[in-house]
Amino acid sequence: MSSEPTEIQGGDERRRAAEMSLKRGYFPAEIPGYDPEWFLGIGAYGEVWVARERNTGRRVAVKFYTHRGGLDWSLLSREVEKLAFLFADRYVVQLLGVGWDADPPYYLMEYLEKGSLADRIAGGPLPVEEAVALFRDVATGLVHAHGKGVLHCDLKPANVLLDQDGKPRLADFGQSRLSTEQAPALGTMFYMAPEQADLEAVPDARWDVYALGALLYCMLTGGPPHRSAKTEDIFERTPELSERLAHYRQMIERSPPPAEHRRRRGVDKMLAAIVDRCLAVDPERRFPNVQAVLDALDERAARLARRPMMVLGAIGPALLLAVVAWFAYRGFDAVLRESDDALTTQTLESNRFAVQLAARTASNELETRYRLVEQMASSKEFRSLAARALADPELHALLVRLVDPIVGPTEKEKLRAKFLENPKRRELQGAFEAMLPETTRPSQGEKVASWFFCDAGGVSTVRVPEGRTIGRDFAWRSFFQGGPSDRSDQWRPGPGEHIQQTTLSDVFRSRSTYRWIVAVSAPVYDLSPEKKFIGVVAMTAEVGRFVDFPGDGDQFAVLVDNRDGKHKGVVLQHPLFDKLLEKEPQLPDRFQYCRVSSDDLPDPLKGDNKYRDPLAADPDGGEFNRRWLARVEPVRVRGNDTGWLVIVQEDYKTAIEDTLTRLKRWLLRYGLIALAMVALVMAAMWGMAKRLSGNN
């Protein structure tokens, strides 16, 4: 795979094509209404010609798929499909027609006489502002394409054509993929993201982000990142594709970050940072999508626009302030900073002990539930009763029918009614409820929301308290199948697809209070030597009951679910929840989407003295829009991290700022006294000097 494997419409390539066209005296196929003009180029799967439409005289580019022997016919349909998705987009070379039945097949597209961006760069690096303008237009085109579900996957200068106004158009979607496709797509060396160079890679929008950064780098420096004569020689001497791809990945991962663009005059730090982030080896450190790149460009433009006024408005006052205040306030500021640092360190250390205590409390609550569920799951009496009940032919037949996808909703409701009143099930229900410890029954308090048992097929068989969930299929829930999140409610478990040990489920919303609920579940096996799996026993509880922190409005604990899955970052417990529940019977549904990103979490090692409360932006959370000092601690059970985090945060104003305000007043008062003393001394010396002068 060469560094420029696709056809280029323009420049030296056109001149070489004109010479080649003298040797190629025939058009691969006649196209009704078009006359051939010249041969433009040849690629891996066919030829490109320029033709003129007889009626209008308009020139078009014709791409023929002539290499029948090695052609994957899906390439033509794939490229045409993507171009059709982007029809009428001004940032994309437009598809004009397709000759599916021709021999060979072809498609017609716009012919842009100004050639490609590669031709433009061949004359040397572009001026910075021109490069940024082209970069913005290409990024806008990619945003449009991504918005329609099309990933380009082979962005490079040769695939960016320039229209008559010099505006860029995206071309050559032969390697593009829909965002829903899983098939790999290989790009071009030095423009391709390292993770893309893998025959099993799944298409990702961040591939185009990397290629976009390589494109801007090329416009600023004249060549793509990491390319050198040595690396090109290695790739040329490596004929095997998989080895060449492996060399490419290793070369990028082991090489230092490209830095030539930073030495280019006119490239500011913000622009260089945009290039660096686009070209990050780790995709997690790149911009998450092309729109984020445009947002960064907008932010840079806004900062550059404000810079002259900022300089003008700051230099004069700053110089005056520096001259007047340098000596007067240097010691004053030093004292305040040292005091702030000392008080912050002291507060964070105090919060560290508090968060450890809160996390340990949550851990103990979970451990207690683990033990209770395991006691029920290992109870010989319950296992024996459950195995006998489930072996009853009538009950077994009902369980099978309840998960049969052929059975309609109306029929299932009738089956549930029969299931609910089945004698064996009723007997197991009574025994199950009788076995529960008195202190763990839902009616005894708020620490337990429910107990239930699902059979080996996932059907809720018994529940305390009884409810409408009995007889429903819950195999898809994480407390049964053990995954990080719930699956589709149509999912059915295969052999062994159930939890193997005590498990903390994914959280879910209570339908009555909208509070977060979690289940602790354990597998149940019969008493036979084979230990046959017969179901899952579980206990549910409101998550807000796990952290018992004796705080107030200025210091409190927050519980966050940081596990991978659809609820990553969700706030599970917060004082605002309790405050709203005092006024309303249930929480507003919007709190289902309240999350904390990983970047916003306090640093677990040094704490965070600029932490923002996750509910500060909520309409009811105005009181939490303050500066907080925060510490974070993971919740562990039996030495394993549960993925839950406890954050203890304390109001900066109450803990530190009020004390600093009193200190400032004290220093200012004594400073004014000192200034007055100096003035009196100077006045006395002036009076003495005057008297001495008068005496003489």
CATH code 1.10.357.10 for 11-288? no
Number of CB atoms found within 10 A of residue 73's CB: 11
Q: Which two tokens stand for residue 586?
A: 């249930």
Which of 513, 644, 647, 655 is closest to 575 using CA atoms?
Answer: 647
CA distance 505 to 538: 10
Determine the pLDDT at residue 17. Answer: 40
Dist. CA 161–CA 175, nearest whole Å? 17
Report pLDDT digits (tens) over 378-409: 999 999 999 999 999 999 999 999 988 898 98
Burial (Cβ within 10 Å: 0-12, 13-18, ≥19) of residue 570? buried
User: Tens of pLDDT along 98-144?
Assistant: 887 788 888 888 888 888 899 899 999 999 999 999 999 999 999 98
User: How many Cα atoms within 13 Å fall on the side-chain side of residue 143?
Assistant: 14
| Identity of the highest mean pLDDT range in 56-70, 328-342, 422-436, 551-565 | 422-436
- Integer CA distances (angstroms), 327 to 3, 324, 331, 332, in order: 62, 7, 8, 9
> What is the b/e burial string over 459-469, where b = at least 16 CB atoms within 10 angstroms of the residue's CB?
bbbbbbeeeee
Q: 72-86, 337-351, 522-536: lowest mean pLDDT where?
A: 72-86
To 10 degrees, what angle do helices 380-391 and 423-435 make? 170
Query: Of the spans 163-172, 651-660, 677-686, which averages the highest pLDDT?
Result: 163-172
Classify residue 522 as exposed, middle or buried by CB count within 10 Å of its CB (0-12, 13-18, 19+): buried
pLDDT bracket for residue 20 (50, 70, 90): very low
* pLDDT 10s digits, 187-226: 889 999 999 989 889 999 999 999 999 999 999 999 999 9
Residue 158: pLDDT over 80: yes
In whole angstroms, what is the distance from residue 60 CA to residue 348 CA?
A: 69
**Rounded to an integer, what distance in angstroms lies between the CA atom of residue 612 and that of residue 609?**
9
Q: Is pLDDT above 90 for 460?
A: yes
Task: Estimate the crossing angle of helix 241-254 against helix 229-236, to 10 degrees.
Answer: 160
CA dihedral sign, ordered 227, 229, 234, 239: positive
- Residue 272 in contact with residue 257, Cβ under 8 Å? no
Task: State whether residue 674 is helix, strand or coil.
Answer: helix
Q: Is 386 helix (H, G, I), strand (E, B) or coil?
A: helix
Going by their DSSP bridges, the two strands 533-542 and 503-504 should be labelled as: unpaired
State the angle between helix axes of 423-435 and 393-402 in degrees (0 to 180), rounded to the nearest 10: 90
Separation between Cα atoms, residue 156 and residue 159, nearest integer Å? 5
- Residues 564-591 have a mean pLDDT of 82
Q: Which CATH superfamily is domain 379-545 in?
A: PAS domain (3.30.450.20)
Given this model, what pLDDT does residue 348 score?
83
**131-140, 259-268, 529-538, 579-588: which has the minimum mean pLDDT?**
579-588
Mean pLDDT of all residues belonging to the chain: 82
Q: Tens digits of per-residue pLDDT, 168-190?
A: 999 887 788 888 888 888 888 99
**Dist. CA 202–CA 182, nearest whole Å:** 5
Q: Which residue has the higher pLDDT, 541 or 88?
A: 541
pLDDT > 70? residue 83: no
pLDDT band (50, 70, 90) for residue 446: low
Residue bearing the bigger pLDDT, 286 or 76: 286
How far, CA to CA in Å, does 655 sit from each of 69, 333, 335, 339, 609?
A: 77, 19, 18, 12, 12
- Structure-token pair, residue 268: 């500011």
Contact 640, 385 (CB under 8 A): no
Share of the chain above pLDDT 90, in %: 37
Residue 91 has pLDDT above 90, yes or no: no
- Helix boundaries (H) for 86-127: 117-122
**Residues 642 and 602: beta-carbon distance below 8 Å:** no
Residue recorded with tokens 């090695």: 70
Residue 441 has pLDDT above 90, yes or no: no
Going by pLDDT thresholds of 50, 70 and 90, the confidence category of residue 87 is low
Per residue in 291-322, pLDDT tens?
Answer: 999 999 999 998 888 777 655 654 655 455 45
Torsion angle of C-alpha atoms 409, 410, 412, 418, degrees rounded to 10: 160
d(CA 563, CA 352): 22
Residues forming beta bridges with residue 160, ordered by sequence position = 170
Top-confidence range, 286-295, 557-566, 654-663:
286-295
Q: What is the pLDDT of residue 440?
A: 75
pLDDT at 15 over 50: no
Task: Give the other-Cβ count within 10 Å of 622's Cβ.
Answer: 11
pTM: 0.50
Per-domain residue ranges of the chain? 11-288, 379-545
> Around Cβ 676, how many Cβ atoms within 10 Å?
10
What pLDDT sits at residue 285?
A: 95
- Which has more pLDDT, 311 or 620? 620
Q: What is the pLDDT of residues 29-76, one digit of tens each?
A: 888 889 888 887 776 567 888 999 888 888 898 888 775 444 445 556
> What is the Cα–Cα distance from 14 to 66, expressed in whole angstroms?
20
- The DSSP secondary-structure symbol of 651 reads E
Say if CB 343 and CB 660 are below 8 A apart. yes
